[in-house]
């Protein structure tokens, strides 16, 4: 049997050697899921909800141990791991509260013995191929509504967070979800590819644009539901009327939280020339206060870089920007090993010739560009192939709404950033993906509306 070694990115130490899946075991899991799904879908919704409610209780009970596992395999600071698990609870409440109204049968016509009804059926067996950066959030955004609506789930967590994937699965099984209905497939890209080779009814992917393209090619000719939640190059614009210090603190957190390894991290900042210098000074002072170090330590804010290859991407972006005229204001290089570290890095005098302002950094690196006016800010915010989130900071709500209505992004923020709500759809435009999770739409995504034409004889 093949194995998957798991390393702590903060130390380089091998922390687990897991049995991994292969083509044969993936196919066996698919066949078991296919056989088990109809009975799961036939269970009363109240029973499926009870399983997920028990899962929520188990997450609360085991939070500390689950946070430690997540921190050890991803290098995420322990406080951020705890926040992720705490943040999962209202998402579960939302799914539990909304699944019934969202999926209830709708009678849309009733006249002269003829009735028309829409019924929401599960898709069947769905594949969830997932990322490591918020493994509980991105995993559960798919797994929980899929199970609640009567699907079986074949879940391939990231090879950088497989222990968390196994924990999610263990707790679901302990909460009453049958093992054949919810399977965790352990391994890297080839195991994901083997999963896509099975005739699943839906593919729900969270990860990079490059892998998203490969997945779209693999399933493109099969007419199954395909959702791709991909990366971004999310901009924020600071207008000339803000509280500079509070805005700098908010955006520094938005750029560096989770060591910048968030899909909706602030990745580009544009600042009105009237407040630019004061903003940059306050921003750099805030970032210099972020403590980098042992992710298990309570006061660590910047943790390890989870994937070693990303260090080269970050180094290359900084070097390219500096070569083209950027000013390096703090950080700029790797931290000392063992493990994978990068300093919290701020550059000013950047522009769109630089990779730093065009391609996802996915690390604690940010460029700040001065702009002359709102029009220039909007033009630059839209000068990207991505479109996940975008923000505007101003005291003037009308100004924010006018600017944000012109920005191409799935989510827009006024005076906030790096925020996800279970009540709102999470989606991207352009190369940030297709489809969505969360909100009522993110529950419906796991169902197929069936049209019933019913004539009483
Ligand atoms: P990745 O694309 O490297 O990997 C994602 C998953 O795809 C992993 O489970 C991996 O094993 C699998 N995979 C790789 N090759 C495959 C193949 N050929 N066939 C099937 N599966 C394959 O991404 P990552 O490094 O895990 O995640 C980081 C990326 O995810 C960033 O770009 C980030 O912005 C994005 N992300 C987006 C969201 C969102 O909601 N839009 C959320 C979190 C992360």
Residue 457 is predicted with a pLDDT of 81
Give yes or no: 106 in active site: no
Residue 337 pLDDT level (bands cut at 50, 70, 90) = confident
Say if residue 357's pLDDT is above 80: yes
CA separation for the pair 344, 77 (Å, rounded): 14
Q: DSSP string covering 258-316, please?
A: GGG--TT-EEEEEEETTTHHHHHHHHHHHHHT--BS-TTSTT--B---SSTHHHHHHHH
Say if residue 216's pLDDT is above 90: yes
Domains and CATH numbers, the chain: 3-231+430-455 (3.40.605.10), 235-416 (3.40.309.10)
Angle between helices 135-148 and 78-103 (to 10 degrees): 20
Cα dihedral across residues 368, 356, 344, 78: positive or negative? positive
Say if residue 62's pLDDT is above 80: yes
CA separation for the pair 21, 317 (Å, rounded): 36
Residue 256 pLDDT level (bands cut at 50, 70, 90) = very high
Say if residue 70's pLDDT is above 90: yes
7 pocket-lining for ligand 1 (C-beta < 6 Å):
no
Active-site entry in 51, 140, 184, 263:
263
Q: Ligand 1 pocket: which of 26, 87, 131 to mutate (most atoms <8 Å of CB)?
A: 131
Say if residue 1's pLDDT is above 90: no
CA separation for the pair 263, 430 (Å, rounded): 15
CA of 230 to the centre of ligand 1 (A): 7
Q: Whose CA is nearest to atom 21 of ligand 1?
A: 192
First to last CA, the chain: 60
Give yes or no: 167 in active site: no
Ligand 1 nearest atom to the CA of residue 437, by list position: 40
Say if residue 349's pLDDT is above 80: yes
Give 368-406 pLDDT, tens digit per residue: 999 999 999 999 999 999 999 999 999 999 999 999 999
Average pLDDT, the chain: 98
196 pocket-lining for ligand 1 (C-beta < 6 Å):
yes
Percent of the chain with pLDDT over 90: 99
Average pLDDT of the residues in 186-195: 98
Q: Ligand 1 pocket: which of 204, 207, 436, 437 to mutate (most atoms <8 Å of CB)?
A: 207
Average pLDDT of the residues in 53-69: 98
Give 313-323 pLDDT, tens digit per residue: 999 999 999 99
Non-local (6+) Cβ contacts of 49 within 8 A are 96, 99, 148
pTM: 0.98
* Strands 411-414 and 202-206, bridge-based pairing: unpaired
Burial group, residue 92, by CB count within 10 angstroms (0-12, 13-18, 19+): buried
Q: Whose CA is nearest to atom 20 of ligand 1?
A: 192
Phi, psi of 328, rounded to the nearest 5 degrees: -85, 115
Give 74-96 pLDDT, tens digit per residue: 999 999 999 999 999 999 999 99
CA separation for the pair 20, 169 (Å, rounded): 15
Task: Give the number of other CB atoms < 10 A from CB of residue 224.
Answer: 15
Q: Whose CA is nearest to atom 8 of ligand 1?
A: 158
Q: Whose CA is nearest to atom 30 of ligand 1?
A: 207
Residue 36 is predicted with a pLDDT of 98
Average pLDDT of the residues in 159-182: 98
Residue 419 pLDDT level (bands cut at 50, 70, 90) = very high
229 pocket-lining for ligand 1 (C-beta < 6 Å):
yes
Active-site entry in 159, 229, 267, 355:
229
Q: Which long-range contacts (CB under 8 A, 24 or more apart) does 394-397 make?
A: 394/239, 394/241, 394/242, 395/241, 395/242, 396/239, 396/241
Phi, psi of 408, rounded to the nearest 5 degrees: -85, 100
Residue 412 near residue 390, CB atoms below 8 Å: yes
Beta bridge partners of 334: 342
Tell me the two tokens of residue 341: 């570290």
């Amino acid at each position: 049997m093949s194995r998957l070694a798991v390393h702590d990115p903060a130390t380089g130490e091998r922390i687990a050697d897991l049995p991994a899946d292969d083509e044969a075991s993936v196919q066996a899991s698919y066949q078991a899921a296919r056989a088990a799904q109809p009975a799961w879908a036939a269970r009363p919704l109240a029973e499926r909800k009870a399983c997920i409610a028990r899962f929520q209780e188990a997450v609360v009970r085991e939070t500390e141990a689950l946070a430690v596992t997540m921190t050890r395999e991803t290098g995420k600071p322990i406080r951020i791991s705890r926040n992720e698990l705490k943040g999962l609870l209202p998402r579960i409440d939302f799914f539990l509260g909304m699944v019934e109204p969202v999926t209830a049968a709708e009678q849309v016509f009733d006249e002269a013995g003829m009735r028309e009804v829409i019924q929401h059926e599960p898709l069947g067996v769905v594949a969830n191929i997932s990322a490591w950066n918020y493994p509980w959030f991105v995993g559960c955004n798919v797994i929980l509504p899929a199970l609640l609506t009567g699907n079986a789930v074949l879940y391939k967590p990231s090879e950088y967070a497989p222990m968390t994937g196994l924990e999610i699965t263990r707790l679901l099984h302990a909460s009453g979800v049958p093992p054949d209905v919810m399977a965790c497939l352990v391994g890297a890209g080839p195991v994901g590819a083997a999963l896509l080779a099975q005739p699943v009814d839906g593919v729900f992917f969270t990860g990079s644009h490059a892998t998203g393209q490969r997945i779209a090619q693999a399933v493109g000719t099969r007419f199954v539901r395909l959702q791709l939640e991909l990366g971004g190059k999310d901009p924020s614009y600071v207008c000339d009327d803000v509280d500079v210090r509070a805005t700098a603190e908010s955006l520094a957190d938005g750029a560096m939280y989770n060591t910048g390894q968030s899909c909706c991290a602030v990745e580009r900042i544009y600042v009105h020339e009237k407040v630019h210098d004061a903003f940059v000074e306050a921003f750099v002072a805030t970032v210099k206060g972020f403590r980098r170090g042992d992710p298990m330590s309570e006061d660590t804010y910047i943790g390890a870089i989870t994937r070693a290859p990303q260090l080269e991407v970050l180094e290359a972006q900084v070097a390219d920007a500096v070569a083209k005229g950027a000013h390096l204001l703090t950080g700029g290089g790797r931290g000392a090993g063992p493990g994978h570290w990068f300093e919290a890095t701020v550059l000013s005098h950047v522009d769109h010739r630089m990779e730093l302002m065009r391609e996802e950094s996915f690390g604690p690196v940010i460029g700040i560009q001065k702009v002359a006016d709102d029009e220039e800010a909007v033009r630059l915010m839209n000068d990207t192939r991505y479109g996940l989130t975008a923000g505007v900071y101003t005291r003037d709500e009308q100004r924010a709404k006018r600017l944000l209505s012109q920005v191409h992004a799935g989510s827009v923020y006024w005076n906030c950033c790096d925020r996800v709500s279970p009540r709102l759809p999470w989606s991207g435009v352009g190369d940030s993906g297709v489809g969505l999770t969360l909100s009522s739409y993110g529950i419906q995504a796991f169902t197929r509306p069936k049209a019933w034409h019913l004539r009483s004889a």
